[in-house]
Structure 1
């Protein structure tokens, strides 16, 4: 299994930056490059997209919400051990 196809752990999801590349979001959603860009082209990607020229980013908070991973409370670190 390659690093690109390896599933994220909860800890890795919480360690993501505020916005991630489209392929990082696709990996978290277990979808490939072709499907991700096809959904983008049809305006059906399941998270809000931020576009900078030809580059797409996904807000990590949107990705966590879609995956059902609780967002950490403001000012408090994520309590991964309790999940």
Structure 2
């Protein structure tokens, strides 16, 4: 259980979360922000697996893609709503 939570937390504060949010904030289209975030999740997982699908765990890839999708969608929502101080 702790390994799963660590994987989720690591992806949220790692590349899929932060870069997915940043890429999502570059567009007002929610689907495009989610797509870019999901792609970051795939690339990040393959990058740390040395570009070999044999080294990729399915659950890690799934978590990275879901976190990237959510972060990209959140970034697009932030862009649509705008920042108000």
TM-score relative to the length of structure 1? 0.30
TM-score relative to the length of structure 2? 0.30
Pick the structure with more helix per residue.
2
